[in-house]
Chain A
Amino acid sequence: MSAAEGATEEAGAEPALRLRGAALGYGDRTLWNGLDLDVRPGEFLAVLGPNGTGKTSLLRAALGLTRLSAGTVEVNAPVGYVPQQKTLQAGVPVRARDLVRFGVDGHRWGIGRPGRGRELRRRVDAALAEVGAAEYADIPVGMLSGGEQQRVRIAQALASDPGLLLCDEPLLSLDLRRQQEVTALVDARRRRRGTAVVFVTHEINPVLGVVDRVLYLAGGRFRVGPPDEVLTSPVLSELYGARIEVVRAGGRVIVAGAEAAAAEDAHHLDDTVEVAH
């Protein structure tokens, strides 16, 4: 099957991320292939699907850290990356503002020109303020809660002034309210600055109200399109190769059967899917 029908294109702006005939596999196992995808400036794309279907690998391919097994990936904007959350230990000797500063100049060689301190501080403060983390700027990151650390990570990614923001499971281990807050931050940024967003998540419901399109990966297949077109019983049943029921209730999407289907399909993987509670 082809997913190209879902990849709507608008004339004008160059896509921030473009994949053509992209395939990824390890050994004889293909995670996905024939993926054509354009993510336009200001677009919010959610990447959904069970574990082990190559969602993180898609981000790593865009970052140039993983090679595609076929096809091309093209990135036309500075990239900001929010890595999958790993709680920073209490002993990590940096403050929130230092972590954000790494996003500005951490990749440059040398110790930094002494005269740039003020300009640097202004950028770091602006990024912290944008995510509402100014208050704990000077607290060691290991002493922050999971939600606070996640905001700081987003500030770090935004501090490099990205045109493409790649987020890997930024909602993981956050409670519902924090999930909504983090989603709202990312949504506000892309609306204000035209940042393209690729948002990998298990949880569709917190982002359902803001996404333009979803890329759903399952069973070695995928589908791209607006949530209303992709998150349907026939489409997901086809992807999983099993009977999946998609129920909409109170503005939420509940996918039933995906967990079992994913477990059966990918019995050698260590985890299963949970798209919604």
Chain B
Amino acid sequence: MWHEIFNYADYGQLLALVRNSLVVGAALGLVGGLVGVFVMMRDLAFAVHGVSELSFAGGAAALLIGVGVAQGALVGSLVAALIIGLLGVRARERNSFIGVLMPFGLGLGVLFLALYSGRAANKFGLLTGQVVAVDNPQTAWLLGMAAVVLAALAILWRPLMFASVDPEAAEARGVPVKLLSPVFTLVLGLAVAMSVQVVGALLVLSLLVTPAAAAIRVTASPVRITLLSVVFALVSMVGGTLLAIGSSVPISPYVTTVSFLIYAVCRVVGWRRTRRGWARRPSAVPAQA
């Protein structure tokens, strides 16, 4: 069983085969790390999960009727993202709505997959991810989506951060806070649709939440949070892919494990930093042990 999980014979040849996966993985790491920062600031982790289930349903529907899975996943994702963005200003209301939406999406997806009579690997892939399955057109499609997300974030960056952390002051300063909510969830929807096709619907959180959550444990500087979150997501995604290629297991357990380990380390580092007095003023007497 062990070398089903770790098997690095003929690694060089395998590497050539998964070049597309690595390119896509790097793009996904960049997107996940950046979007994750705002997911944490806006407290949208649960929304990420909800959107990914709807994205799964969209992909499954596309598989059933024989159109592009990527496009199906994108449509499902954007519909869910738009509804959540328009509806959920208050967290409590938003979360209960997502709790209602999520099983519905998952149920639909299961129905479509049950009706689908093609390859079983296609079914499984949408839920738990796939490694080598990224062909050239799909790579181009995913990179195109990544480019849209990066461009949108480059434009929205400062007002989106202001609105996410301090909405009252942002609104008073003329930031269109109410408009930014659905706009950001659409960007999030794109990122989710990308991730669903690579790591699978059930594990999207490990890319869009875990890296940023880990970064926030160790620093409060937005620049450092962003850099660390991207590095963590890249290491998880690319590292996970490199570990996965020799095996017959899907890519996702590697990605999720690497990203979880990074988070665990960051929690310990953050805990030590808090204990040593993260909030201590320079002039204050040292805290008593």
- A: residues with CB less than 8 A from B are 63, 65, 79, 81, 83-84, 86, 88, 91-95, 98-99, 102-103, 105-112, 135-136, 139-140, 143-144, 153, 156-157, 160, 166
Given contacts A65-B172, A83-B169, A139-B278, contact A93 B41 (CB under 8 A): yes
A107 touches B159 (CB 8 A): yes
- B: residues with CB less than 8 A from A are 40-41, 154-159, 161-162, 165-166, 168-175, 216, 220-222, 225, 278-279, 281-283
- Distance (whole angstroms) from the CB of A143 to the closest CB of chain B: 4
Report chain A residues within 8 Å CB of B168. 83-84, 86
Given contacts A83-B169, A160-B173, contact A107 B158 (CB under 8 A): yes
Given contacts A102-B170, A103-B173, A107-B173, contact A93 B158 (CB under 8 A): no
A102 touches B225 (CB 8 A): no
Closest to A145 in B: B279
Residue in A109, A139, A143, A156 whose beta carbon sits within 8 Å of that of B169 in the complex? A156
A144→B173 CA distance, assembly (Å):
24
Report chain A residues within 8 Å CB of B282. 135
B175 touches A135 (CB 8 A): no
Q: 12 extra interchain contacts, Cβ-Cβ under 8 A, other than A98-B165, A109-B158?
A: A83-B172, A93-B216, A94-B165, A106-B159, A106-B170, A107-B173, A111-B154, A135-B281, A135-B282, A139-B220, A143-B279, A160-B173
A91 touches B216 (CB 8 A): yes
A93 touches B222 (CB 8 A): yes
B278 touches A106 (CB 8 A): no
Residue in B158, B165, B173, B283 whose beta carbon sits within 8 Å of that of A99 in the complex? B165
A93→B155 CA distance, assembly (Å):
21
A92 touches B165 (CB 8 A): yes
Residue in B40, B166, B174 whose beta carbon sits within 8 Å of that of A102 in the complex? B166
Report chain B residues within 8 Å CB of A156. 166, 169
- Distance (whole angstroms) from the CB of B30 to the closest CB of chain A: 14
- Distance (whole angstroms) from the CB of A119 to the closest CB of chain B: 16
A98 touches B221 (CB 8 A): yes
Report chain A residues within 8 Å CB of B161. 102, 106
Report chain A residues within 8 Å CB of B169. 81, 83, 102-103, 153, 156-157
A109 touches B172 (CB 8 A): no
Given contacts A94-B220, A99-B165, contact A107 B175 (CB under 8 A): yes
A93→B278 CA distance, assembly (Å):
13
B158 touches A111 (CB 8 A): yes
A103→B168 CA distance, assembly (Å):
12
B278 touches A107 (CB 8 A): no
- Distance (whole angstroms) from the CB of A93 to the closest CB of chain B: 5
A81→B175 CA distance, assembly (Å):
13
Closest to B40 in A: A93
A153→B162 CA distance, assembly (Å):
13
A140→B156 CA distance, assembly (Å):
23
Report chain A residues within 8 Å CB of B41. 92-93
Please, could you name 27 A-B residue pairs with CB atoms under 8 Å apart, sorted by A?
Answer: A65-B171, A81-B169, A81-B173, A83-B169, A84-B168, A88-B166, A93-B40, A93-B216, A93-B225, A94-B220, A98-B221, A99-B165, A102-B169, A103-B169, A106-B159, A106-B162, A106-B166, A107-B175, A109-B156, A110-B154, A111-B158, A135-B281, A135-B283, A136-B279, A139-B220, A144-B279, A156-B169
A86→B214 CA distance, assembly (Å):
26
B170 touches A107 (CB 8 A): yes
Report chain B residues within 8 Å CB of A107. 158-159, 162, 170, 173-175
- Distance (whole angstroms) from the CB of A66 to the closest CB of chain B: 11
Residue in B174, B222, B278 whose beta carbon sits within 8 Å of that of A94 in the complex? B222
Given contacts A91-B216, A95-B221, A111-B158, contact A106 B281 (CB under 8 A): no
Report chain A residues within 8 Å CB of B158. 105-112
Report chain B residues within 8 Å CB of A139. 220, 278-279, 281
B281 touches A136 (CB 8 A): yes
A182→B39 CA distance, assembly (Å):
34
Report chain A residues within 8 Å CB of B221. 95, 98
B166 touches A93 (CB 8 A): no
A92→B37 CA distance, assembly (Å):
11
Report chain B residues within 8 Å CB of A86. 168
A136→B280 CA distance, assembly (Å):
8
Report chain A residues within 8 Å CB of B281. 135-136, 139
Closest to A140 in B: B220
A143 touches B278 (CB 8 A): yes
Residue with the highest number of chain A CB atoms closer than 10 Å, among B40, B165, B170: B165
Report chain A residues within 8 Å CB of B216. 91, 93
Residue with the highest number of chain A CB atoms closer than 10 Å, among B40, B154, B171: B171
B155 touches A109 (CB 8 A): yes
B172 touches A81 (CB 8 A): yes
